[in-house]
Amino acid sequence: MTTCPAELNFASHLAELNAGRAGKTAYIDDSRRLSYGELAERVARFAGLLQGLGLRREERVLLLQHDTVDWPVAFLGSLHAGVVPVAVNTLLSADDYAYMLQHSRARAAFVSGSLLPMLQAALAQGGHDVAHIVVSQPAQPLPAGAAELETLLAAAPCAPAARTQADEIAFWLYSSGSTGKPKGVVHTHGNLWYTAELYGKPVLGIREDDIAFSAAKLFFAYGLGNGLTFPLSVGATVVLMGERPTPQAVFKRLTGHRPTVFYGVPTLYASMLASPDLPPREQVAMRVCASAGEALPRDIGERYTRHFGCEILDGIGSTEMLHIFISNRAGALRYGTTGKPVPGYEVELRDEQGRSVPPGTIGDLYIKGPSTALMYWNNREKTRQCFLGDWLKSGDKYQCDAEGYYTYAGRSDDMIKVSGQYVSPVEVENVLIQHEAVLEAAVIGVTDRDGLVKTKAYVVLRDGHTAGKDTCAALQTYVKTRLAPFKYPREIDFIEELPKTATGKIQRFRLRLRESAARSAQV
């Protein structure tokens, strides 16, 4: 396995790799383009901007930005300066951002103009250390104390790259845990380098002549590799999309920019195939696709390949491992499985006593590899539960067949993964029971006809309230307005009582068994 250099600043590493491509397009977003030369200059100026604001090495800055050319500039510019960017999901609530600001102790926040009101609502809760607010493409006059990114960049000098080590903290991403409380996942400069060298180049096979387009956003670990680490490591061109990844929005980019590498998630692939606007094969240029976030159903993969003539390389990664560590490969693809371990990573399936399980037996998934995160910030208990020496306990259940192909068998806890994002049932339940009509609620994950997981709620109503379509719609809207939209229950069943233990704990597994039996009876 190739070894990462001990001294590494990943931002300056990319700039050096692409020094001979100054005139080539690096990024195309919805309104602008950046060449590799312009990208390198803006990254160095961003580092100078941070220094001008008084930011010091290892201090954190929050990145709450849509996928535009400003995102890679802010992320790489922070790495260039030795400052630590904390990239966060743009679909969360003000309460979520308030927690992340307090938890990370970010000294500055870089935000897209359309997201500024949400950031302001989070800042209003107090308890943070934010001294600077810098806005990209402001949609309205800036509030007092905020500055526009373009104005600051134009006045900033190009700063030299900080001399950082490969093992030095480079950036954070947030990942939800079994309680739904976000965990700050701390990654190094070297972790980025390894994902490109072990997966991006040899498994995905990305090349300099590729145009890459990821429906998964840059703030995801998956999207970060797709839209930054991998393409910039080979000098490819990247298409960015600021809007939500609906099938129509994706089709527009697939036919307009004709990317050769496309990254999606199973939910999106299913929606694309179901859309009446699905473009014919001759209108696109995809040569390879990737999928992660949840298991890709075999039928979806097979139908997609029949239509477009290209394979989807399904794999599994995690925020803690930064990108994919088990994957299908071109020429050895087997739909319905997650493939085999990516060279450079070791995988084991173990039982509850920590012993290896034989082929065909479901076990807990453990991974060892060089892109593993350092820790969960300020969460020693959870760090010790998941980071076990050289090994990471993923929380997933898998089985491996005699040929070495791994197949997903579910989560080890009650967490639900919807469109590649974890949903805590407790978090949704806690919102539902705040509604005047709800006495009790329990949330589980159910599999739809396409083999994709969606949230479903079981609700016990208070006296005086009746079940029906209107009540169901009202509860769904209620959740949507208080949590990130992807967390709302797609289905709601109204029942007389919830199954519980003698001590009053809800038994969600009994609801899952009930759901499974009901769906089997419909077949």
Task: Using pLDDT thresholds of 50, 70 and 90, give the confidence band for residue 312.
Answer: very high
Give the residue with greater pLDDT, 383 vs 503: 383
Q: Residue 283's CB: how many other CB atoms inside 10 A?
A: 13
Residues 421-464: tens digit of each pLDDT: 778 787 888 899 889 999 889 999 998 888 888 899 999 998 89
Burial class of 162 by CB neighbour count within 10 A (0 to 12, 13 to 18, 19+):
middle
Polymer length in residues for the chain: 523
Share of the chain above pLDDT 90, in %: 78
Closest CA to 137 of 70, 76, 78: 70
Supply the Cα-derived Rg of the chain in whole angstroms.
Answer: 23
In angstroms, rounded to a whole number, what is the distance separating the alpha carbons of residues 520 and 514?
10
Which pair of structure tokens corresponds to residue 519? 């769906």
DSSP state of 506: B
**Burial class (CB within 10 angstroms; exposed 0-12, middle 13-18, buried 19+) of 350:** middle
Grade residue 504 by pLDDT with cuts at 50, 70 and 90. low
Cα–Cα nearest to 130, from 111, 148, 114? 111
pLDDT in tens, 235-246: 999 999 999 999
Q: Under a CB-based contact definition with an 8 Å cutoff, are residues 88 and 39 in contact?
A: no
Question: Mean pLDDT across the chain, nearest whole number?
Answer: 93
Q: For position 369, what pLDDT does the model report?
A: 98
Distance (Å, rounded) from C-alpha 123 to C-alpha 285? Answer: 44
Question: What is d(CA 206, CA 476) in angstroms, rounded to the nearest whole number?
Answer: 41
**CA dist., res. 443 & res. 437, Å (int):** 16
Q: What is the pLDDT of residue 179?
A: 45
Q: What is the pLDDT of residue 364?
A: 92
With a pLDDT cut of 70, the percent of the chain lying above it is 97
- CB 163, CB 9: distance < 8 Å: yes
Q: Are 220 and 228 in contact (CB under 8 A)?
A: no
Does pTM surpass 0.75? Answer: yes
Residue type, 78: S
Task: Pull the structure tokens for residue 181.
Answer: 């409380």
Helix (H), strand (E) counts: the chain = 16, 27
74 residue type, one letter: A
Residue 378 CB neighbours (<10 A):
12
Number of Cβ within 10 Å of residue 478's Cβ equals 18
pLDDT attached to residue 240: 98
pLDDT value for 453: 87
Q: What is the pLDDT of residues 380-432, one digit of tens each?
A: 999 999 999 999 999 888 999 999 999 988 777 677 878 777 787 878 888 99
Does the pLDDT value for residue 26 go beyond 70?
A: yes
pLDDT band at 176 (very low <50, low <70, confident <90, very high): low
249-266 pLDDT tens trace? 999 999 999 999 999 998
DSSP string, 255-296: HHT--SEEEE-HHHHHHHHH-TTPPPGGG---SEEEE-SSPP
